[in-house]
């Protein structure tokens, strides 16, 4: 593939399972159409699915975290090993118009949505308690920590701070997962970045780019905001792909397999974290 004009920036995503492989394939098609010289780095359990897509760099990956959400860490690690800057984008997102050719990003993390002083905004006291416990373990101030919306954010190399950020993220994620908090990886990103002194900022140009995320658009509709016909059509297409109908036996088998794999990963994670018992369990 020709990366001559945009070799410093890539997109990256996680595509586990056939549904998300199909979604990531659609995303790759959007990128080929609207930013043809930009690569999409994909970590997936089926790299062969992306054969023939000239703008995709697909790498074999098996789910590591309990809920798969923290596997984004491995996506970023792979992308940053190849490109100085990577834009993480959920596989179920779309690009629906041309992207600018001259986008540049500051070192550190740039979020589509950034929250400051999370205890002020999060009403879930059990989550705040866990975040406070981890902030104490890391010796950082929770009120002075920024958090990102994890569906779309940029990470640029910053003299090795990004590697320290990824290392810390990998250390703290099991703490939350073992306590039943498998999602909300944006919180772990914020805590790890704070500890690694990797700056988090919000940049309006990221919010203004033509990205589609069904949950964000549905939120607009609930607020009574109007959306374009393009976005309306994308909502319907996304529903048919992401929530495709399955027969009852297929749903039962999928559920049982998910429970078995979750149990296996939970046991493996519990054993692994015993090596640092005080950090994870005290």
Within 10 Å of residue 30's Cβ, how many Cβ atoms?
Answer: 20
Could you write out the DSSP letters of every residue in the chain?
Answer: ---TTTTTEEEEEEE-SHHHHHHHHHHHHHHHHHSTT-EEEEEES-GGGGTT-TTEEEEE----SSSSGGGHHHHHHHHHTT-SEEEEE-TT-EE-SPPPS-----SEEEESSEEESHHHH---HHHHHHHHHHHHHHT--GGG-EEE-TTEEEEE--TTHHHHHHHHHHHHHHHHHHTT--S-HHHHHHHHHHHTT--EEE-HHHHTS-EE-HHHHHHHHHTT----HHHHHHHHHHHHHHT----HHHHHHHHHHHHHHHHHHHHHHHHHHGGGHHHHH-
> Is the pLDDT confidence value at 3 over 70?
no
pLDDT confidence bin for 237, thresholds 50/70/90:
confident
Question: In whole numbers, what is the pLDDT of the chain averaged over residues?
Answer: 90
Cβ distance 151 to 209 under 8 Å?
no
Per-residue model confidence (pLDDT) at position 5: 41
Question: Tokens in use for 83?
Answer: 């490109």
Averaged pLDDT, 98-122: 87
pLDDT confidence bin for 1, thresholds 50/70/90:
very low
The residue ranges of every structural domain in the chain are: 9-97, 105-212
Averaged pLDDT, 138-144: 94
Averaged pLDDT, 1-15: 74
Predicted TM-score (pTM) of this structure: 0.90
CATH for 9-97?
A: 3.90.550.10
User: What does the alpha-carbon distance between residue 190 and residue 234 come to, in Å, rounded to a whole number?
Assistant: 31
pLDDT in tens, 219-233: 777 887 878 888 888
Per-residue model confidence (pLDDT) at position 170: 96
């Amino acid at each position: 593939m020709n990366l001559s004009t945009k070799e410093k920036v890539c997109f990256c995503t996680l595509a586990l399972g056939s549904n998300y492989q199909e979604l990531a394939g659609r995303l790759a098609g959007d990128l080929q159409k609207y930013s043809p010289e930009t690569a999409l780095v994909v970590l997936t359990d089926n790299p062969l699915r992306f054969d023939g897509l000239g703008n995709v760099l697909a790498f074999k990956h098996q789910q590591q975290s309990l809920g798969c959400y923290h596997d984004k860490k491995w996506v970023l690690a792979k992308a940053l090993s190849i490109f100085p800057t990577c834009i993480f984008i959920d596989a179920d997102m779309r690009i629906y118009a041309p992207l600018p050719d001259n986008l540049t990003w500051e070192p550190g993390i740039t979020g589509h949505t950034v929250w400051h002083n999370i205890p002020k905004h999060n009403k879930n006291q059990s989550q705040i308690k866990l975040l406070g416990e981890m902030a104490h373990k890391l010796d950082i101030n929770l009120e002075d920590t920024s958090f990102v919306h994890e569906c779309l954010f940029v990470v640029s190399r910053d003299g090795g701070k990004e590697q320290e950020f990824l290392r810390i993220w990998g250390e703290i994620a099991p703490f939350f997962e073992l306590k039943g908090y498998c999602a909300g990886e944006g919180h772990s990103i914020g805590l790890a970045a704070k500890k690694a002194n990797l700056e988090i900022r919000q940049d309006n140009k990221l919010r203004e780019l033509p990205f589609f995320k069904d949950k964000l658009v549905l939120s607009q509709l609930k607020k009574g905001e109007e959306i374009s016909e393009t976005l309306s059509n994308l909502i319907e297409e996304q529903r048919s792909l992401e929530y495709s109908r399955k027969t009852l036996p297929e749903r039962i088998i999928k559920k049982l397999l998910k429970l078995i794999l979750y149990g296996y990963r939970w046991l493996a994670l519990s054993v692994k974290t015993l090596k640092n018992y005080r950090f994870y369990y005290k």
